[in-house]
Each structure stands twice: as structure tokens, then as C-alpha cells.
Amino acid sequence: MEPQLSWYLALSAVLFTIGAAGVIIKRNVIQMFMCIELMLNAVNLTFIAFSSFFQDVTGQLFVFIVMTVAAAEAAVGLGIIIAIFRNRESLDVDDASILKL
């Protein structure tokens, strides 16, 4: 039995759910950041699966752009994390719950 399209969608849904649960459960900023990366990857898997099953290159182009956005997000997000750590001496999101330094 060949892999069906819905298998890939199910895998993507499971990964996205694990990432979303991690964002809610985790309190370390860096781990929350990594969970967001996992969610982006789950969406990428959906794009690739549809692109491959419909024989359309557009999905893979969008994955390319999503990866670029993820790289930009990593650069800016880690800069923000370093700025938070300098001001609070902590990576716990509960210590950064007010919008001022």
C-alpha cells in the first residue's frame, strides 16, 4: 500500500499540534521559539505533500519562502531573546510579562 496524501497531512497535523502544545506548556523562551520552528516545519510538510501529489511546483516555492521567513525570524527572535536576558537575567517568559524594561 502506497502512502496516501492524508498520511502526510496527518503527520503534519500531529507535528503542528505538538508544537502548539509546546508553545503553551514551555516557559523557557528558547524552547518556545523552537516549538514555533516545529510548527513552521509542519506547514512546510503540508506544502510539499500537496505539491508532490498535484505535480505543481508552487508549493515548493512557498516552502522556500517560508524557510527564508524562518531564518529572518530566527535572527530577530534570538536578538530579542538576548535583549530580554540582558534586562531580566532570566529566560522565563513569566519574568517578561510586562511590556516595559
Partner 1 sequence: MATILFIVFAGLAIGSAIAMVSQRNPLYSAISLIGVFIALASIYVTLAAPFIAAVQVIVYAGAIMVLVIFVIMLLNVEQEEPRRRRLRFLVPAAIGMAAILIAETAFILYSVQTTPGQMPRGLSDVGLTYSIGEGLFTGYLLPFEITSILLLMAIVGAMSLARRTGFLSANARVVPGTQVLAMDIVNPRAVGDQRPVQTKTSNEAAHLLGVDSIRDREE
Nearest distance in Å: CB 99, partner 1: 14
Q: In 10 A of CB 87, how many CB atoms?
A: 12
Residue where the block lists cell 514551555: 26
Residue 2 binds partner 1 (CB under 8 A): yes
96 binds partner 1 (CB under 8 A): no
Length of the chain: 101
* Residue placing its CB nearer to partner 1 in the complex, 3 or 99: 3
Q: Map residues 67-86 to x or -, x wherever contact with partner 1 holds by CB under 8 A.
A: xxxxxxxxxx-xxxxxx-x-
Q: Taking CB under 8 A as the criterion, which residues in 26-65 touch partner 1? A: 26-28, 30-31, 33-35, 37-38, 41, 44-45, 48-49, 51-58, 60-61, 63-65
28 - beta bridge partners? 92
Q: Which is nearer to partner 1, 55 or 99 (CB)?
A: 55
Answer for which of 43, 94, 97, 99 binds partner 1 (CB under 8 A) is 94
Query: Residue 29, class by beta-carbon neighbours within 10 Å (0-12 exposed, 13-18 middle, 19+ buried)?
Result: buried
Amino acid in position 98: I
- DSSP letter at 9 equals H
